[in-house]
A = this chain, B = another copy of it.
Amino acid sequence: MMVPMPRPTIDDVQAALGRIEPFVHRTPVARCRAIDAWAGRQVHLKCENLQKVGAFKARGAMNAVLLLDDAAAARGVVTHSSGNHAQALAWAARERSVAAHIVMPTNAPAVKRRAVEEYGGIVHDCEPNLESRLARCAEIAATTGGTVIPPYDDDRIIAGQGTMAIELLMQVPDIDAVVVPVGGGGMISGVATVMKALSPDVRVVGAEPRLADDAARSLRSGRIEPHRGDPTATMADGLRTTLGERTFPIIHDLVDEIVLVDEDQIRDALRMVLERTKLVIEPSAAVGVATLGTESLRSLDADRVGVVLCGGNLDLGSLPRLLGTS
């Protein structure tokens, strides 16, 4: 018989918030009349695009770095990522004067590599495949004695991401539902943990691109499903990962539903947010907003809906392609 591992609790998230508060922003909640009118309800945008490093990933990374004891901290941290987690970990490590080793594939965009280096991270090359990434990561961890901090499938990370939900409940106490984009599931695991503990009537809705719908299928089948097609087909580059061993059971038990959106809905939402709220978001954040136009959300009895704008690291050069104007 399998003994279920303990999961992060609301106490872990509360502790994480106290721990990271001196370092991260309590991000504002934005309103926009045009989006309210389109959605037919009050929409409260939790602006993690205005978070440190431009994404919610700063929360989990900071929590994980601060949880290291001094001896571990002296040996540094290690991860493999070419996305926001890489920048977040480099930033968090520097805040504690800890070395951050970031394994990146040789074909990662130069701008991503430069961003990590600007935050003081040490970039290590690997071949552009998962085996090489994992091997290089393990090799560096073995050499340095550093602690591996994965991007989402980690209780320290889940608890850190959940802190945004405590803030949201303080900022909008009478919220009826919250929409959270789902990639590896670290963010929605943390948010659902908070909501079901502090305000269990709040409906927790995952938002996923139809072209990377592994979480929706995993909830239906009851186990972690791989991608069906090529997940890089979705413009939401932050949501191309599949659920993990730590995040899946939490999502399975606590998330009310996963809503899928098509690429044209993501594109329209991206344009609407840029034009109407004057906030820069990345495509993954537009996925959450896009769900507001779906039948699932339209038929939901919820006057006040929170939507996490999970990141703002938009590649401006790709905007014409994303908006279909090039």
Listed in ascending order, the chain A residues whose CB lies under 8 Å from chain B are 28, 49-50, 54, 271, 274-275, 278-281, 312, 316-317, 319-320, 323, 325-326
Bound: A60/B316 CA distance, A? 33
Indicate which residue in B50, B320, B325 contacts A278 across the interface (CB closer than 8 Å). B50
Q: Is B280's CB under 8 angstroms from A274's CB?
A: yes
| A50 and chain B: residue at smallest CB distance | B278
Q: How far is the CB of A295 from chain B (nearest CB, A)?
A: 26
CA distance A319 to B279 in the complex (A): 15
Of B28, B49, B320, which contacts A319 at CB under 8 A? B320
Instruction: State the copy count for this chain.
Output: 2
**Sampled A-B contacts (26; CB under 8 Å):** A28-B28, A49-B278, A50-B278, A54-B278, A271-B316, A274-B280, A274-B316, A275-B280, A275-B316, A278-B279, A278-B280, A278-B281, A278-B312, A279-B279, A279-B280, A280-B280, A316-B319, A316-B323, A316-B325, A317-B320, A317-B323, A317-B325, A319-B319, A319-B320, A320-B320, A320-B326
Residues of B close to A317: CB separation below 8 A: 320, 323, 325
Docked pose: A274 CA to B275 CA in angstroms: 13
Contacts of A50 in B (CB 8 A): 278
Would you list the 8 A-B pairs with minimal beta carbon distance, nearest first?
A: A278-B312, A278-B280, A317-B325, A49-B278, A320-B320, A50-B278, A274-B280, A319-B319
Residues of B within 8 A of A280 (CB): 274-275, 278-280
User: When chains A and B are docked, how far (Å) is the Cα of A281 from the Cα of B317?
Assistant: 16
In the assembled complex, the CB of A53 is this many whole angstroms from the nearest CB of chain B, namely 11
Q: Which of A271, A316, A326 has the most CB of B within 10 A?
A: A316
Residues of the B chain whose Cβ atoms lie less than 8 Å from the Cβ of A323: 316-317
**What 13 additional pairs, Cβ within 8 angstroms, besides A274-B280, A278-B281, A317-B323?**
A49-B278, A54-B278, A271-B316, A274-B316, A275-B280, A275-B316, A278-B279, A279-B279, A279-B280, A280-B280, A317-B325, A320-B320, A320-B326
**Set of chain B residues within 8 Å of A312, measured between Cβ atoms:** 278
Q: Which residue of B lies closest to A281 (CB)?
A: B278
Could you tell me the distance in whole angstroms from the C-beta of A319 to the nearest C-beta in chain B? 6
Give every chain B residue within 8 A of A275 (Cβ-Cβ).
280, 316
Contacts of A281 in B (CB 8 A): 278
